Amino acid sequence: MQKEEWFPLVDSDGSVIGKATRKECHSGSKLLHPVIHLHVFNDAGDLFLQKRSESKDIQPGKWDTAVGGHVDWGETVEDALRREAMEELGIIGFTPQLVTCYEFESEIERELVHTYKTTYNGVILPNKDEIEEGRFWTLAEVKAGMGKGIFTPNFEGELDRVLPDL
């Protein structure tokens, strides 16, 4: 039997005000919970994207931010960022730079998204249980794919914050 996942509930400033299960947070309750996104660039300025597994319940098969995940109960945002980067891409030893923090709302949930970027040139080993594939995209490729259903809507909306000149 799988262990129940607990997420912190936060106010719009990110202060913890309670906790709830993953199921409660994703049931349409709109309970605000923190998540992390990490945009990974290489020295050439290319952006690593992951293709979400077809088995994902949200946006299956779409290209998305290199790393994304929930902050677990009792975990700091930066700890979650480093855990998710290791779990999803096998990367460690990177220097994250906070880009922005904003609220995102979909039909089923409301998230406080902590968005980071980093430059990383080491080995990237996508976790095949969560990610169908991953690769670096040139910024021209990303720009050409915008609005064509290739990327998740969340990625497209966030890209303006990460690359305002794209």
Instruction: Return the CATH number of the domain spanning residue range 6-157.
Output: 3.90.79.10
Domain boundaries, the chain: 6-157
pLDDT tens track for 46-105: 999 999 988 887 788 999 999 999 999 999 999 999 999 999 999 999 999 999 999 999
pLDDT tens track for 113-163: 999 999 999 999 999 888 899 999 999 999 999 999 999 988 999 998 888
The pTM (predicted TM-score) of the whole model is 0.94
The secondary structure of 74-107 as a DSSP string is T--HHHHHHHHHHHHH---S---EEEEEEEEE-S
